[in-house]
Amino acid sequence: MAIAVVAGVGATLAFSAAPATATGVPHIRNGETVPVYSYDNAVRESVWVQTPLDNDHDGKRDEIAVDIVRPREAAAKHLRVPVVMEGSPYYSCCGRGNESELKEYDANGIITKEPLFYDNYFVPRGYAFVAADLAGTNRSTGCMDVGGREEVLGAKAVIDWLNGRARARYADGAPAVATGWTNGRTGMIGKSWDGSVANGVAATGVQGLETIVPISAISSWYDYQRYNGVLRSPDYPEFLHSYVTGRPEEACADVLSELDQGSDDATGNYNAYWAERNFRPDARKVHASVLIAHGLNDTNVTTDQFAQWWSRLDVPKKIWLSQQGHVDPFDIRRGAWVDTLHQWFDRWLQGLHNGIDRQPAVSIETAPGTWVNERTWPAPAARPVGVSLGDGVRTWTDNPELTEAAAVANPNADVPGRTTFLFGPLTGNARISGTPSVTLRVKVDKPTTELTARLVDYGTGTRVDYLGGGEGIRTLETESCWGASTAADDACYRDTAERVVTSDHAILTRGWQDAAHHVSLRFTTPLRPDRWYSVTVPMQATDQLIAAGHVLGLILQASDNEYSSPQSTGATIQLDTRRSRLTLPMIGHLPPPGTPVVTTAPAPSSFAPPRFHPVVP
């Protein structure tokens, strides 16, 4: 049965008056869009948009299948509405959201259910919702090329069609034209892979894309599948292609071969294949506003993906940073997120000057359930704090069986395969905001080795349990509803709550570097066993508070068999601590290493990520 609209319960930000041009528009009242159109009676249709490419080599341009839900009454009044769009490879294989919803169709192939609440919530408020199957997935043709030109230009073609610049057809072959019902103003949204394609399309500078909302999204596929030359998982692009493809194997054999050869597992080098999938250099082309959401403890799409994208954007932008892992803010802070999203789309797609672009740009979760607003990120008061690692030489040998839990436990003990530096106890509260790094002066008895660094907060506290089930959330038995419903597509989702734990330590950030890539990621420079080298290990961007009395630990090891697929060389590493340096973007200060330390000795955790198991973005 249909379920009534239920409003969000989060804090609502103040609106200013609506622009005069909005006068008389039924879905705009008091400076915001309101649900006046029937969701049950909405137009539901599918079109196939022609792309400029033919990567399945069948002699025809590839087509992107697009499912549309739009308000019928607006079309009847000749009101052209803006579009909220999600491009995804997951609509038929894997599902979207915490409840893994799939697209559903009736016997005639008409869309009856689109995943997530976007259509339920926004269509009654005077938006169309467009769900596009990325190339080679679900009902689209072409072949999935995992972040490449086919994926990005296919999604771009949909925006071109919405603005009258590309062709489309209905299932019966009749031409499909969008300019009669939409004004072409489009906002792209999506989590993970879906948000990554929004980044990629924005980086083309396509006209008509007014805003994007990338959630836990990729901005460089090299950095997703490589850690500075370290292989995350073998045959990763081929795995992702096969995971989402909707095409016969023989249709995409050439593309699979290109993925295998181009990604170049053998060297880990950055090359033309990866440059095509790196959106950051084209951030200057982005003219769309950007609302980013990311978990500070996301170990799937790691935090440098948002940090290096955010720092390059010169457009109106806003960011939410939570303490969860790979989790949608809808499942963290639901009411406030829906309110923010509503205002964001009203501002950039409906042209309502509601003030959201003048509010603090940054919302950060500093502790479970505690959020603060700031004007920019990283924190303006954070300054690079450099500290030497000591006065002597440390030696250890790669132990590829050393787990993360064992590596960070018992920091004062002698554990084969790691070396530990402790700073503290801190005399006052401190904050790390930005991207830490450690520069190591090393001598290695093999042509290369992987180097792994972890920052650990040793001290008891209540923290978001991002390493537990749900990556920091738990799913409850109750439901709340976020929009209008039909018998086939309700707007109700199971509620969630933060999963917290009281622990005596927490890993704040991690970093990896292949030593032979210390000069450049484009080629290897083998190490000579008789020579000292300076190798910088960049860690993932973070924003964390460290309480007074806690101890900050730097844990170094060689290969990491949990977050990568280590190519262990069995190297023995000598570390000249006098010429090695930890650099932290920090508010506060650290005592030098060697200061008497009082700390607990945490036991190894029972959690261990699966080894060499590829994950999907």
The residues carrying an active-site annotation are 192, 298, 326
| CB neighbours of residue 359 within 10 Å | 16
User: 548 near 429, Cβ under 8 Å?
Assistant: yes
Within 10 Å of residue 1's Cβ, how many Cβ atoms?
6
Residue 471 to residue 297: CA distance in whole angstroms? 9
The dihedral of CA 77, 83, 89, 95: what is its sign?
negative
Residue 390 forms beta bridges with which residues? none
Q: Which residue's structure tokens are 């909005």? A: 22
What is d(CA 488, CA 102) in angstroms, rounded to the nearest whole number?
12
- Encoding tokens for residue 25? 């528009």
Sign of CA dihedral 50, 55, 60, 66: negative
Q: Rounded to an integer, what distance in angstroms lies between the CA atom of residue 83 and that of residue 38?
A: 17
DSSP-derived secondary structure letter, 394: E
Q: Which residues contact 439 (CB under 8 A, 6 or more apart)?
A: 534, 535, 536, 537, 580, 581, 583
Alpha-carbon distance values, 50 to 136, 158, 177 (Å): 13, 8, 12
Burial bucket for residue 606 (CB in 10 Å: 0-12, 13-18, 19+): exposed
Cβ partners under 8 Å of residue 230, min gap 6: 268, 450, 512, 513, 514, 560, 564, 566, 567
Distance, CA of 617 to CA of 148 (rounded, Å): 15
Name every residue whose Cβ is closer than 8 Å to that of residue 471 and which is 6 or more positions away in sequence.
295, 297, 298, 324, 325, 326, 327
Please tell me the distance from the alpha carbon of residue 403 to that of residue 452, in angstroms, as a whole number.
12
CA distance 128 to 113: 14
Number of other CB atoms surrounding residue 96 within 10 Å: 23
List b or e across 98-130, with b for residues whose CB sees 16 or more CB atoms inside 10 angstroms: beebebeeeeeeebebbbbbbbbbbbbbbbbbb
**Structure tokens given for 577:** 């601590």
Q: Write the CB contacts of 208 (distance below 8 Å, at least 6 apart in sequence).
A: 159, 160, 162, 163, 184, 185, 186
* Coil, helix or strand at residue 22: helix
Structure tokens at 118: 């976007």
| 3-state SS, residue 373 | strand
Give Cα separations from 468 to 109, 326, 418, 463, 474 (angstroms). Answer: 40, 12, 25, 11, 10
Burial category of 258 from C-beta neighbours within 10 Å (exposed 0-12, middle 13-18, buried 19 and up):
middle
Closest by Cα among 262, 261, 188, 275 to 223: 275
DSSP state of 94: T
